[in-house]
Chains A and B, each alone.
Chain A
Amino acid sequence: MKKRTHYELLQSGAGYYTALIGMGLLIVAGLAATWYMEHYGHIVTGMSNEIVWGMPHVFAVFMIVAASGVLNVASIGTVFGKAPYKPLGRLSAVMAAAVLAGGLMILVLDLGRPDRLIVAMTKYNFKSIFAWNIYLYNGFFAVVLLYLYTQLSSKAGVRRFYKPAGTLAFVWRLILTTGTGSIFGWLVARQAYDLAIFAPMFIALSFSFGLAVFILLMVALMRGDDRAVGHELVARMGRLLGVFVASAAYFTIVWMLTDLYAAEHRSAVAYLFASGNIYSWLYWVGFIGLGTIAPLLLVFSNSARSSHAPVITAALLVILGGMALMYFIIIGGQSYPLVLFPGMEESSSFNDGMIASYAPSLPEILLGLGGVAVAVTITLVAAKTLHILPTTLADAEVDPHLAAEAEGAGLKKAA
């Protein structure tokens, strides 16, 4: 017996406006940081001719990757027909667009000439994966909005296209993440990148980052508005997160082993993964330890069935580990010098053959946080103006099977 899901706008409590004001302040700080960076030039950041992409790109790539993963929740309901995920489709679509918008804002505001954004939108070099991505990102917004329209419309004729629209959005997001991964995978000159595995690796990462972001924001919105969230639903999402997290880690291990096997890449990969520098720590402790193993233990623990805490902690750790991995990939990968003369020692006034150092500056971090705040703000405003948040996500309301499972688990525990 399937119940009809009801959606309601967020209540306007003090908490809602406090959150909104807090996010607003972060956005203002991010914009001020942008103004500072653009006024004085990138000289005031930690970025240089060696580390050309810095902290803003760590935030931006994380968010762009996460955005396509956030949409998975909707896809699981629509494309794969999993009933418990169906009530979350609307929120998932809105949040995906919001997170992408936040990530893109960071990317755009970090440009050397953000005032020339119109050039990026009117002049295309179709051989550039970056130019393709501009289409993929803009297209993502269009496809997701279309998908949202088929879900929100009161016309049965429009709602009929809910499944094709959802399938299109799912395919689109897979292509989008392939594009994002290929930004790095197709850099033939860089020892640390230059592998086709970057595309599927980024897809796996998007699954885990996106679901973690979704779980956190969804539980925060629901509980902040005093709406019920079923334990079994969250536990189930947590177990899925576990599968995603493990597959993402698998891809990074294959990346490491592939490069270790090739003598040409060995020194670069040894430098990144096993030299005891900040990047090795970020990978093994940050991504593998905190971002993979700890969440796996948490989501598959018994307490995950009776409390939200383990899954929420796991989601937070996945995000933390994900940021560590992004820093590892983007900053670490650039810090290894370009090899002009294989096997030789190089030195020059332009730091040839030297490991590049990088320290993120405050404006870069503020810009990144500003982008996060934009994503949260869009989600908050959308939840207040559109019917996207279910009135309840109690297990019995979402899916009778879930309720039965929860009951069974409770009985087992009692016994």
Chain B
Amino acid sequence: MTEHSASNETRKAPESAAAEMDAARREFMRNIAAASVLSLGGGLTLYAAAPREALAKKPGEPLDPKKRWGMLIDTTKCTSGCEKCVEACKKENGWEAEPGSRTDVQWIRKVDVKDPATGFMASLPVMRQHCANPPCVDVCPTGASMQRADGIVQVNMHTCIGCRYCMMACPYKARSFVHEDIPEERKRFHAPMGKGCVTSCNFCAHRVDSGRIPACAEACPEGAMLFGDLNDPNSAISQRLKEIPSYQIRADLGTDNGIRYTRLP
């Protein structure tokens, strides 16, 4: 943590002293609580490690371009019919979708996959893959489809003209077009989306920016979604990726996804 507080001093956000004191107080609370969470037991280490790592960035501070956020999804723990991650995302980001709807926004969905030759079945969550080489960013004429320096791919809806070329280009069907007005009560402050723009998972950037983990990862009852910094060799996710084989959806396309799976059908 010392390294992080040092970087905090070098890049002070132009906010009032009160806000800074507030941030410091929150930081203190977090450290105390993180310590107590750590002491809860060995089984919970994964939970504690992920948020602590994410805590690197405090509100009001710019993101760290040395990081690359990613997620390792343990598909062996994921069961068909469990929609906890999807429900959490809906609640967090304010979208609703009728199952099978062709026009509703969906940021994450559970895909059931079956091998017709062997009958092997698997179920896994698919959301935006946060590629290192995202085709959607390549094709967007205005640069609205963008990649943050820390690897998060998102739509800058301020410059999206709604041409939908990114939806043609995305290999993962990760994007939705907002086909109608979103009522005020469904809007989320940190996840604005509006009629006529393309929208998609942004790795809960608002949470990541304040040191939290994405809502889906937090909600998974199996702890099957491990979020962290792929560029930090000491992060929990990097350590785990070093130990076990992991796969990307359509790795053949060379998009180098930030989302990895422990097993793909």
Contacts and interface: CB of A to CB of B under 8 A. Distances in A.
In-complex A–B contact (CB below 8 Å): yes
Interface of A: 38, 40-43, 47-50, 52-53, 111-114, 116-117, 119-120, 123-125, 127-131, 134, 183, 186-190, 334, 338-341, 343-352, 356
A344 B115 CA distance: 5
Given A189-B170, A189-B171, A345-B114, A340 B250 contact: yes
Contacts of B141: 120, 124-125, 128, 130-131, 134
Given A41-B181, A112-B163, 15 more contacts: A41-B179, A48-B102, A48-B103, A52-B164, A112-B177, A124-B141, A125-B138, A187-B169, A188-B169, A188-B253, A189-B135, A189-B169, A344-B116, A347-B114, A351-B102
Contacts of B113: 341, 344-346
A41 B161 contact: no
6 contacts: A49-B167, A52-B177, A111-B196, A116-B162, A339-B250, A341-B264
Contacts of B216: none
Nearest to B139: A128
Ranked 9 nearest A-B pairs via Cβ = A112-B162, A112-B196, A189-B171, A48-B102, A130-B141, A125-B143, A41-B180, A52-B164, A349-B99
Interface residues of B, number: 57
B89 interface: no
B195 interface: yes
A352 B109 contact: yes
A41 B159 contact: no
B82 interface: no
A112 B197 contact: yes
B177 A119 contact: no
B206 interface: no
Interface in B117-169: 117, 126, 135, 137-143, 159-165, 167-169
A334 B167 CA distance: 10
A112 B198 contact: yes
* Interface residues of chain A: helix, strand, loop or mixed (majority): loop
A307 to B, nearest CB: 44
B114 A119 contact: no
A190 B102 contact: no
Contacts of A339: 250
B6 to A, nearest CB: 36
Contacts of A53: 164, 168
B137 to A, nearest CB: 8
A22 to B, nearest CB: 31
Contacts of A117: 161
Contacts of A125: 137-138, 140-143
A351 B106 CA distance: 11
Contacts of A334: 168
B159 A119 contact: yes
A113 B196 contact: yes
A190 B161 CA distance: 22
Contacts of B126: 340, 348, 352
B253 A38 contact: no
A50 B102 contact: yes
B221 interface: no
A111 B139 CA distance: 16
A343 B252 CA distance: 14
B32 to A, nearest CB: 41
